[in-house]
């Protein structure tokens, strides 16, 4: 890691020191004490032995970075907040090295109800490995393993994916129930995961390298006025992806390496304001898999023209949910944008008449008694509200699903 030197002129207690001229010289960095030897994964048993002690217990629910910081600990995540729909739930236990999952995912929940993360210690020399495990499921569907979409059957599944690890990097295990692009969930599920292993990849025969399939489902769109969002259906055995950006006239102006679900600031792209589209290429390892053909073009996206001092219109909200929660509360939630000063929900009766406008929060609950609406069927739209100086109000979102006040 980089050594960082920071100096602050003044203190919180005493305030700034005022005008000053300084000359700083003879800055040295000297090592004090012995440096501990780095600890690496056992090359003969990279993922260690999964036991009942492997379950991460400290907070119960945690994210990928927690698994990276706690090697050889199984970390479980579920959508307890209802990111783009109703919240999910999961009950999980470890018995004799077998992880048992009982997942509840209500209709309308998006993407993954549950995710599993597990990381090794750094692999000293890196390499290409086969990640294998057994998955016993009470239903068929789709799962995502280290970015690879896999169809599973009801009953026992033998899962195997190819994983390339850079030197000094950790071996990752990332298992999601469902797929993000396209958004497919598995709903309620009972599953067991066992015999998690990483073994050196062995090629079968000396066949010519296989060309990777052409990527599909490319999304390249404005996440907001400052960011380009890219996502696609993962290509099995791809080691990376390249995004090619074109002007409306078809001139290639930018090539960059991207990851699925990446947000790239427009400032980093260095493109002039205007309309563009993109194509995607899956990159192979050059030994067993060759690079794919370019994907079909994405829909056009717009790089905003920056005019100093001119307020920007906020991005239109997406993923808006308006629903009755626990019988007597009105709940609102959305996927983005998340940086607006405030948000307004416009409520309409079934015939399209606007009947209420109120300020709402993401995931907020409002008692139905405060709405003051008679019994009936309604729907709502959301607007991101600007400050009027730097940002302007967004357009209204797509309407929510209908909700009924009894």
Residues whose CB is less than 8 angstroms from the CB of residue 1 and which lie 6 or more positions away in sequence, other chains included: none
> CA 318 from chain center: how many Å?
16
For β-strands 89-95 and 127-137, DSSP reports them as unpaired
pTM above 0.85, yes or no: no
**DSSP states along 52-74:** GGGB--SSSS--HHHHHHSTT-B
- Encode the chain (406 residues) as per-residue pLDDT tens digits: 567 788 888 888 888 888 888 888 888 888 777 778 889 999 999 999 888 888 875 544 667 888 999 999 998 887 766 566 667 788 888 888 899 989 887 766 666 778 889 999 999 999 999 999 999 999 888 899 998 989 988 999 999 999 999 999 999 999 988 887 777 777 888 999 999 999 998 876 545 688 999 999 999 988 766 789 999 999 999 999 999 999 988 999 999 999 998 888 887 888 888 899 999 999 998 878 899 999 999 999 988 876 656 677 887 888 899 999 988 999 999 887 777 899 999 999 999 999 999 999 999 999 999 999 999 999 999 999 988 887 888 889 999 999 999 8
Q: Are strands 219-224 and 227-231 parallel, antiparallel or unpaired?
A: antiparallel
Phi, psi (degrees; rounded to nearest 5) at 157: -125, 135
The structure tokens listed for 49 are 């032995």
Which tokens sit at 125? 């020399």
Cα(253)–Cα(344) distance, rounded to whole angstroms?
39
What are the C-alpha distances in Å from 355 to residues 345, 378, 395? 11, 9, 19
């Amino acid at each position: 890691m980089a050594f960082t030197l920071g100096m602050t002129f003044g203190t919180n207690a005493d305030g700034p020191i005022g005008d000053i001229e300084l000359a700083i010289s003879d800055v040295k960095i000297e090592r004090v004490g012995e440096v501990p030897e780095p600890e690496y994964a056992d090359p003969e048993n990279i993922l260690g032995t999964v036991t009942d002690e492997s379950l991460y217990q400290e907070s119960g629910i945690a994210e990928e970075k927690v698994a990276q910081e706690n090697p050889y600990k199984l970390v479980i995540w579920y959508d307890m907040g209802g990111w783009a729909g109703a919240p999910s739930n999961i009950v999980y236990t470890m018995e004799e090295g077998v992880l048992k999952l009982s997942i509840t995912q209500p209709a309308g929940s998006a993407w993954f109800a549950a995710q599993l993360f597990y990381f090794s210690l750094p692999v000293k020399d890196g390499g290409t490995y086969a990640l294998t495990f057994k998955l016993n499921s009470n239903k068929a569907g789709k799962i995502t393993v280290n970015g690879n979409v896999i169809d599973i059957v009801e009953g026992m599944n033998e899962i195997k994916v190819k994983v390339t690890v850079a030197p000094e990097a950790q071996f990752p295990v990332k298992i999601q129930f469902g797929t993000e692009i396209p958004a497919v969930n598995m709903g309620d599920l009972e599953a067991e995961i066992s015999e998690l292993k990483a073994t050196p990849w062995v090629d079968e025969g000396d066949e010519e390298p296989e060309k990777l399939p052409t990527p599909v489902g490319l999304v390249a769109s404005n996440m907001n006025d400052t960011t380009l969002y890219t996502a696609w259906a993962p290509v099995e055995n791809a080691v990376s992806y390249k995004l090619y950006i074109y002007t409306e006239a078809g001139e290639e102006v930018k090539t960059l390496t991207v990851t699925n679900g990446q947000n790239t600031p427009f400032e980093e792209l260095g493109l002039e304001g205007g309309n563009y589209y993109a194509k995607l290429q899956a990159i192979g390892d050059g030994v067993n898999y060759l690079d794919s053909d370019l994907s079909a073009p994405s829909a056009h996206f717009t790089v905003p023209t920056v005019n100093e001092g001119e307020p920007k219109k906020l991005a239109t909200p997406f993923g808006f949910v308006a629903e009755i929660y626990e019988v007597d509360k009105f709940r609102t939630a959305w996927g983005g944008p998340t940086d607006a000063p405030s948000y307004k929900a416009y409520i309409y009766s079934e015939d399209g008449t606007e009947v209420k406008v109120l300020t709402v929060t993401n995931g907020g609950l409002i008692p139905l008694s405060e709405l003051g609406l008679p019994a009936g069927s309604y729907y709502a739209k959301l607007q991101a509200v600007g400050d009027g100086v730097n940002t302007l109000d967004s357009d209204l979102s797509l309407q929510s699903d209908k909700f009924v006040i009894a």
